[in-house]
């Protein structure tokens, strides 16, 4: 962002000439400056009869002669020294205004590079000014196609984006110059970025919007996370039933919604039924609807399948579904037909089923508590979400995401996160998975007094963590075998937070060669 460091200091002479509107007067002023070998750095002419001159500072005698000669020009009423030019004042005012705006604002040149960013924008992208100026806007907003916008109609435009897992709305406005006697020329564009929660309820309906969010809300750097998202993107485009397995709190519903949004069904409804939260008869009615006259209702009721025609139905915790409903669901999966409760006529809908379970559905089928034929119908495509403890190097990015989210909600600056905090949270077992981390971050921020978040605000149950670690130990075999197994667990855990043999060696205060050999012997790799 450009500034004017010399506006109110020496070495520059600025003059305000009050005069009449006379032809040739400006030329006479310039001739006087030339006769005294004074370089003119800038000139501004006000419509109210004022000429502003900007030139290098001069000695007192030359200054006195200059002022006297200017006053002798016909039509000049007065001349005086001023501290700044009007354009300097206007630019400084605008920059001060931009700097203090709460919303991030950036200016973009016609090549798609950032040439101005206010303080809020620098904070949003977590960049210094020199790291963002001159860089392509796509580096910071990868989903916004600036080239397509500038090659189109170049109108005011708004669309939804996701930055580091959080929802924002960007609004870009073209900036034109000229227009008095010639056609306005596109010079640049200004973009404002707002959190979705800050959107004005009275926003213009005419502004084009895009909301085709798929997996942009998912944050993680581990190989397991990347493999999951890569596979999910492929399966999202198919129409076969999809089964999502994962522990409580891993984000099964969020993943199902992302798959729906990425599919060809995105413009149709995404409806949810929790199989564990309602009585059997209520769940049947919710799924299939009921005929007129049923349940003392004169009018019939459309069930979720009927309402979601063309879209997706998400059956949460399908392992809890009753045997009666399992039979009905199996028939629906066969040909897409069903009957409303109390009705004989069959109807057909086009719906994709996505189901989730925290159980091993195959084991439930083997034990007889879940229909084996339904299991094979649902188990066409499967996604397994790893527990957070199995991808501990994702804790850091998730911590950054949740901290930014809740700091904004609480109206506070995003606190600093210490390396010790990230390491200790990465070593925790997280029995409640991502949901537990999310809740803990909110609680921690409500207890924060300073500007740095530390492990003390999280109140981790250390005993639970120790017990959990002991429970996973293998105590079979000789002492040497037990110690090797325990050592491999420690190295595998720490390697996710210190993902190189040199970093891990430094952390454990042993030689790099020793650590490299142990990692190779135990077959330990990054998640």
Question: Domain of 412: which CATH number?
Answer: 1.10.8.60
Last residue of a domain, one of 61, 86, 111: 86
Last residue of a domain, one of 163, 198, 233: 198
In a domain, 215, yes or no: no
Exposed / middle / buried, residue 89 (Cβ in 10 Å: 0-12, 13-18, 19+) = middle
Assess whether 485 and 445 both reside in one domain: no
* pLDDT at position 53: 93
pTM for the model: 0.60
Q: How far is CA 481 from CA 252, 377, 390, 510, 518, in A?
A: 38, 44, 23, 21, 14
In a domain, 94, yes or no: no
Split into its structural domains, the chain has a count of 5
* pLDDT at position 203: 42
In a domain, 211, yes or no: no
Assess whether 23 and 117 both reside in one domain: no
Assess whether 378 and 237 both reside in one domain: yes
Exposed / middle / buried, residue 43 (Cβ in 10 Å: 0-12, 13-18, 19+) = middle
Last residue of a domain, one of 60, 86, 112: 86
In a domain, 263, yes or no: yes
| Residues facing residue 55 across a β-bridge | 13
Give dist(CA 491, CA 257) in Å, integer. 36
The enclosing domain of 40 has a CATH number of 3.30.70.260
How, if at all, do strands 270-274 and 166-177 pair? Answer: unpaired
Assess whether 263 and 347 both reside in one domain: yes
Note the Cα 261 to chain centre separation in Å: 17
* pLDDT at position 107: 92
In a domain, 91, yes or no: no
Assess whether 33 and 151 both reside in one domain: no
Give dist(CA 452, CA 364) in Å, integer. 47
User: Is the separation of the CB atoms in 63 and 71 below 8 Å?
Assistant: no
Assess whether 129 and 266 both reside in one domain: no
DSSP string for residues in 299-321? S-EE-HHHHTTTSEEEEETGGG-
Assess whether 250 and 341 both reside in one domain: yes
User: Is the separation of the CB atoms in 447 and 405 below 8 Å?
Assistant: no
Give dist(CA 256, CA 234) in Å, integer. 13
User: Is the separation of the CB atoms in 439 and 400 below 8 Å?
Assistant: no
Per-residue pLDDT tens listing for the chain (527 residues): 434 444 334 468 899 999 988 888 999 999 999 999 999 888 998 877 899 999 998 888 899 999 999 999 999 999 999 988 888 888 888 888 888 888 899 999 999 999 999 988 888 888 888 889 999 998 888 888 888 888 888 888 888 888 877 778 899 999 888 755 567 888 899 999 988 655 544 443 333 333 445 788 888 888 889 899 999 999 999 999 999 999 999 999 999 999 999 899 999 999 999 887 677 778 888 888 888 766 555 666 888 999 999 999 999 999 988 888 899 899 999 888 888 887 888 899 999 999 999 988 988 899 888 999 999 999 889 999 999 988 988 999 999 999 988 888 888 888 989 888 988 898 888 989 999 999 999 999 999 988 899 888 898 865 344 444 444 556 666 777 778 778 887 887 777 777 778 878 877 878 878 888 888 887 777 65
* pLDDT at position 32: 93
In a domain, 369, yes or no: yes
* pLDDT at position 245: 95
Assess whether 273 and 322 both reside in one domain: yes
Assess whether 114 and 162 both reside in one domain: yes
In a domain, 38, yes or no: yes
Domain around 137: 101-198
* pLDDT at position 436: 92
Assess whether 53 and 107 both reside in one domain: no
Give dist(CA 58, CA 384) in Å, integer. 77
Residue 412's closest CA among 442, 437, 435, 440?
442
Assess whether 228 and 369 both reside in one domain: yes
In a domain, 5, yes or no: no
Assess whether 230 and 348 both reside in one domain: yes
């Amino acid at each position: 962002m450009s500034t004017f460091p010399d506006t109110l200091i020496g070495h520059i002479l600025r003059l305000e000439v009050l005069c009449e509107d006379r032809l040739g007067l400006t030329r006479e002023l310039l001739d006087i400056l030339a006769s005294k070998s004074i370089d003119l750095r800038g000139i501004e002419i006000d419509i109210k009869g004022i000429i502003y001159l900007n030139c290098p500072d001069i000695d007192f005698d030359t200054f006195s002669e200059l002022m006297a000669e200017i006053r002798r020009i016909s039509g000049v009423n007065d001349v005086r020294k001023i501290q700044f030019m009007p354009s300097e004042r206007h630019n400084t005012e605008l920059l001060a205004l931009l700097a203090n705006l709460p919303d991030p604002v950036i200016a973009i040149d016609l090549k798609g590079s950032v040439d101005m960013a206010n303080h809020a924008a620098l904070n949003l992208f977590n960049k210094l000014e020199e790291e963002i100026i001159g860089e392509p806007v796509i580096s910071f907003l990868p989903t916004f196609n600036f080239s397509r916008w500038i090659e189109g109609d170049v109108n005011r435009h708004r669309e939804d984006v996701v930055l580091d897992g959080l929802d924002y709305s960007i609004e870009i406005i073209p900036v034109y110059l000229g227009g008095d006697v010639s056609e306005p020329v596109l010079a640049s564009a200004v973009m404002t970025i707002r959190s979705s929660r800050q959107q004005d309820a009275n926003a213009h309906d005419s502004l084009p919007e895009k909301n085709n969010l798929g997996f942009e809300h998912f944050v993680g750097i581990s190989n397991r996370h990347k493999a999951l998202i890569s596979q999910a993107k492929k399966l999202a485009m198919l129409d076969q039933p999809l089964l999502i397995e994962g522990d409580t709190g891993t984000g099964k519903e969020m993943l199902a919604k992302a798959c729906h949004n990425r599919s060809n069904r995105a413009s149709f409804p995404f409806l949810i039924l929790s199989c564990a939260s309602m009585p059997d008869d209520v769940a049947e009615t919710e799924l299939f609807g009921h005929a007129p006259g049923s349940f003392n209702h004169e009018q019939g009721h459309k069930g979720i399948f009927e309402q979601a025609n063309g879209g997706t139905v998400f059956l949460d915790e399908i392992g809890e579904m009753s045997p009666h409903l399992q039979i009905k669901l199996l028939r629906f999966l066969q040909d897409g037909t069903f009957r409303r409760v109390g009705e004989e006529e069959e109807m057909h809908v086009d719906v994709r089923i996505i189901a989730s379970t925290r159980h091993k559905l195959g084991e439930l089928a083997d034990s007889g508590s879940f229909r084996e034929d339904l299991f094979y119908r649902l188990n066409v495509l499967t996604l397994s979400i790893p527990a957070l403890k199995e991808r501990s190097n994702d804790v850091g990015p998730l911590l950054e995401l949740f901290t930014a989210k809740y700091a904004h909600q609480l109206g506070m600056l995003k606190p600093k996160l210490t390396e010790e905090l990230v390491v200790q949270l990465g070593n925790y077992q997280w029995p409640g998975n991502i949901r537990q981390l999310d809740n803990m971050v909110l609680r921690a921020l409500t207890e924060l007094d300073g500007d740095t978040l530390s492990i003390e605000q999280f109140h981790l149950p250390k005993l639970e963590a120790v017990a959990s670690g002991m429970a996973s130990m293998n105590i079979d075999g000789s002492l040497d075998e037990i110690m090797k197994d325990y050592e491999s667990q420690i190295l595998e855990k720490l390697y996710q937070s210190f993902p190189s043999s040199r970093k891990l060696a430094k952390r454990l205060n042993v030689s790099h060669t020793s650590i490299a050999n142990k990692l190779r012997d135990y077959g330990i790799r990054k998640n």
